[in-house]
């Protein structure tokens, strides 16, 4: 599967929600977080643009520790 180039914001948010993240705050940026099994939380911030570039999406995925294949599977399912 190819990584999405210009991914629609809503589809990215739905994909991340499928991976356990929830929207915490929406403004110029969208703040999301995931509660982990050990009680910790994984924060995630993405730009509130209509379309999110592939390079930005890759950086967000890497910083949040999301596996590439897991993200692509969740993204394609939405």
Q: Check which CATH number belongs to the domain holding 64 and give it.
A: 3.30.920.30
The CA distance from 77 to 45, in Å, is 22
Residue 78 confidence (pLDDT): 85
Could you tell me the pTM of the whole model?
A: 0.91
Phi-psi region of 51 (alpha: psi -120 to 50; beta: other; left: phi over 0): beta
Q: Which range of residues forms the domain containing residue 63?
A: 6-77
Could you tell me which residue, 1 or 5, shows the higher pLDDT? 5
Has residue 66 been placed in a domain? yes
Q: pLDDT of 43-64, one tens digit each?
A: 999 999 999 999 999 999 999 9
């Amino acid at each position: 599967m190819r990584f999405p180039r210009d991914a629609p914001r809503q589809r990215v948010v739905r994909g991340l929600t499928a991976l356990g993240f929830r929207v915490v705050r929406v403004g110029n940026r969208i703040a999301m977080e995931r509660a982990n099994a050990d009680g910790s939380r994984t924060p995630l911030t993405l730009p509130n643009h209509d379309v999110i570039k592939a390079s930005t999406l890759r950086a967000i995925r890497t910083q949040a520790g999301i596996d590439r294949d897991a993200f692509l599977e969740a993204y394609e399912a939405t």
